[in-house]
């Protein structure tokens, strides 16, 4: 088939007539599928069930240093679980890690909240400032943006490139605008595109000379060990080490968790940062809590007792996830390849595939899918304020449905992409859609 843009108006109309018919048929099938949820499927969770028995009723419940994990204390967590999280997050020194609660989202929320309430290492609390801004590489993670919006922080879109955020723009904002206090980053297998930051990108981050002393890079290494392929994996530089080398040891907060490794919502979360940041953060969290759940820390540390064990475990996850990603990608390639109405990156890890439709089509595609029984993440969701300036990005989440369901859902998806694209082209070429 020719690219759609090369079709005459008559060809477009003929094509649309045929696709309208197919869409009506699809609507009659009573599909009820969901590609919106970035959560593990049952099989992945089953693989972690060993966690449930690693601490039995006769367990001594003691960490390696003799701490009774059932009692109060150890605000920043037990060492063996710090070792685990340092390994997962790619941080050299476990001493640079603080353990938190059951997920990293609240860890990030609390980091922003602390800055809002009390400031950063002695700087003015953000609640006392008229204006605070964050840079938001787009498309990005909607829950990051929800946090900054919640605190009334203005969000500035930074386009993603194949090697990470547009660093020229990042440098310009960060070095020139003292109101810019942070940037959200998912540096490895980014949400939603699956892009990993190049070494140059990481080094440029580390070399930033911020106008604001309380500027921090919010480095959410959520998919650090979430590879899809055994023989083709991305690795990123250690941002903490790079920041130290560049003379900016305090400029980054690293976040991570085992949510998509062990149990979603019942994992352990962690943060890594410079000693100076950590000392200040510990003082603040000591007001909020006596300690986090050390029993869950011990459970994780004993079950995942080496990085080798983590890697073996994640290989099994990949065996479940890979066919799902491929089910979606195969249909995309087969049905849309060469049509010039959309593009996508084949991710090597993470939890999402990002489809970029023709400008002005994303909302329409999502709506059409919905009306035929396939739920996608709302168009716009991967952007601050839910507004995709080009209305073109759609996040596909293949992790939860089965490969067969994904194939069926993607069949409908590509049909809707074609239809929405045709409608747009017909509109542009001067006619009416109907």
Binding site for a copy of itself (CB under 8 A): 37, 39-40, 42, 45, 48-50, 52-53, 55-59, 61, 68-73, 101-103, 105-106, 109-110, 113, 116-118, 127-128, 143, 146-147, 150-151, 259, 263-266, 284, 287-296
Distance in Å, CB of 260 to a copy of itself, minimum: 10
Distance in Å, CB of 375 to a copy of itself, minimum: 15
**Cis amide leading into 192 (omega within 30):** yes
- Rounded CA separation 434/316 (Å): 49
Distance in Å, CB of 70 to a copy of itself, minimum: 4
Distance in Å, CB of 262 to a copy of itself, minimum: 9
Complex with a copy of itself: residue 162 or 287, whichever CB lies closer: 287
Complex with a copy of itself: residue 189 or 351, whichever CB lies closer: 351
Structure tokens, 253:
């907060």
Complex with a copy of itself: residue 173 or 255, whichever CB lies closer: 255
Residue 97: which of 113, 74, 114, 118 has the closest Cα? 74
- Rounded CA separation 370/392 (Å): 17
**Quick check: helix, strand or coil at residue 68?**
strand
Complex with a copy of itself: residue 87 or 267, whichever CB lies closer: 267
Distance in Å, CB of 433 to a copy of itself, minimum: 37
Q: CB-based contacts of 308: which residues, under 8 Å, 6+ apart? A: none
Complex with a copy of itself: residue 81 or 336, whichever CB lies closer: 81
Conformational region of residue 74, where left means phi above 0, alpha means psi within -120 to 50, and beta covers everything else: left
Distance in Å, CB of 334 to a copy of itself, minimum: 31
Distance in Å, CB of 79 to a copy of itself, minimum: 16
Complex with a copy of itself: residue 215 or 292, whichever CB lies closer: 292
Please, what is the angle between helix 362-371 and helix 403-428, to 10°?
130
**Quick check: helix, strand or coil at residue 104?**
helix
DSSP string, 332-388: HHHHHTTSSSEEE---SBSS-EEEEESTT-HHHHHHHHHHTTEE-PPTTTTSGGG--
Distance in Å, CB of 401 to a copy of itself, minimum: 14
- Say if CB 392 and CB 423 are below 8 A apart: no
Complex with a copy of itself: residue 7 or 291, whichever CB lies closer: 291
Complex with a copy of itself: residue 100 or 344, whichever CB lies closer: 100
Complex with a copy of itself: residue 57 or 162, whichever CB lies closer: 57
- Rounded CA separation 364/345 (Å): 21
- Rounded CA separation 155/434 (Å): 38
Distance in Å, CB of 168 to a copy of itself, minimum: 31
CB-side neighbour CA atoms (13 Å) of 1:
17
- Rounded CA separation 167/187 (Å): 13
């Amino acid at each position: 088939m020719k690219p759609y843009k090369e079709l005459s108006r008559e060809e477009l109309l003929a094509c649309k007539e045929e696709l309208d018919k197919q869409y009506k048929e699809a609507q009659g099938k009573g599909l009820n599928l969901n590609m919106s949820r970035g959560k593990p499927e049952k099989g992945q969770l089953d693989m972690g069930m060993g966690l449930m028995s690693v601490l039995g009723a006769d367990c001594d419940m003691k960490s390696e240093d003799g701490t009774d994990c059932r009692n109060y204390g150890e605000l920043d967590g037990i060492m063996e679980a710090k070792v685990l999280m340092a390994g997962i997050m790619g941080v050299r020194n476990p001493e640079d890690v603080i353990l938190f609660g059951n997920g990293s989202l609240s860890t990030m929320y609390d980091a922003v909240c602390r800055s809002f309430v009390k400031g950063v290492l002695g700087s003015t609390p953000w609640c006392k400032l008229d204006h605070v801004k964050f840079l938001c590489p787009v498309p990005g993670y909607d829950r990051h943006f929800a946090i900054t919006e919640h605190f009334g922080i203005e969000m500035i879109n930074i386009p993603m490139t194949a090697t990470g955020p547009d660093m020229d723009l990042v440098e310009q904002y960060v070095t020139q605008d003292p109101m810019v206090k942070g940037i959200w980053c998912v540096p490895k297998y980014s949400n939603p595109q699956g892009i990993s930051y190049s070494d140059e990108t990481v080094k440029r981050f580390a070399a930033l000379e911020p106008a604001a002393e309380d500027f921090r890079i919010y480095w959410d290494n959520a998919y650090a060990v979430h590879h899809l392929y055994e023989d083709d994996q991305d690795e990123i530089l250690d941002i903490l080490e790079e920041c130290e080398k560049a003379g900016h040891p305090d400029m980054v907060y690293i976040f991570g968790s085992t949510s998509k490794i062990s149990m979603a919502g019942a994992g352990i979360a962690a943060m890594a940062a410079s000693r100076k940041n950590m000392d200040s953060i510990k003082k603040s969290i000591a007001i909020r809590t006596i300690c986090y759940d050390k029993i869950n820390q011990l459970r994780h540390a004993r079950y995942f007792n080496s990085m080798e064990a983590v890697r073996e475990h994640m290989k099994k996850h990949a065996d479940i996830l890979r066919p799902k990603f491929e089910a979606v990608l195969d249909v995309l390639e087969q049905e849309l390849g060469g049509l010039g109405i959309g593009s996508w990156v084949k991710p090597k890890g993470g939890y999402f595939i990002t489809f970029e439709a023709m400008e002005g089509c994303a909302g329409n595609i999502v709506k059409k899918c919905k009306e035929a029984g396939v739920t996608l993440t709302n168009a716009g969701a991967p952007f601050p304020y839910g507004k995709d300036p080009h209305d073109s990005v759609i996040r596909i989440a293949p992790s939860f449905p089965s490969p067969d369901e994904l194939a069926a859902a993607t069949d409908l998806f590509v049909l809707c992409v074609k239809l929405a694209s045709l409608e747009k082209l017909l509109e542009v070429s001067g006619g009416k859609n109907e």
